[in-house]
Structure 1
């Protein structure tokens, strides 16, 4: 199998590790922007205890 031009991962550590092991160092691996935003919002809301209105306002910027 030839290496793809880009590998997009959802941020799951095991999947990212597998992509790194499977493809050579010339294949770029990128975090999915949807999952990145989703995880950032989760961390702000639940880990930092940010209220929903403030989280929505920050996301709209």
Structure 2
């Protein structure tokens, strides 16, 4: 029992299972930010193109 208590700080410091989940969450957040930014930048151009298509029909 005392051995488990003594090794607990070391095992907490070397455990990397949560780090992978955090890295994937950060990657997903960055990807979402890039997508939202690029879509909002191209929204006006896309709207104009769609208006031309509708007007030609």
TM over 0.5: no
- Work out which structure has the larger RCO, using CA pairs closer than 8 Å and 6 or more positions apart in sequence: 1
Scaled by the length of structure 2, what TM-score is found?
0.33
Scaled by the length of structure 1, what TM-score is found?
0.31
Q: Of Structure 1 and Structure 2, which has the larger fraction of its residues in strand?
A: 1
The structure with the larger Rg is 2
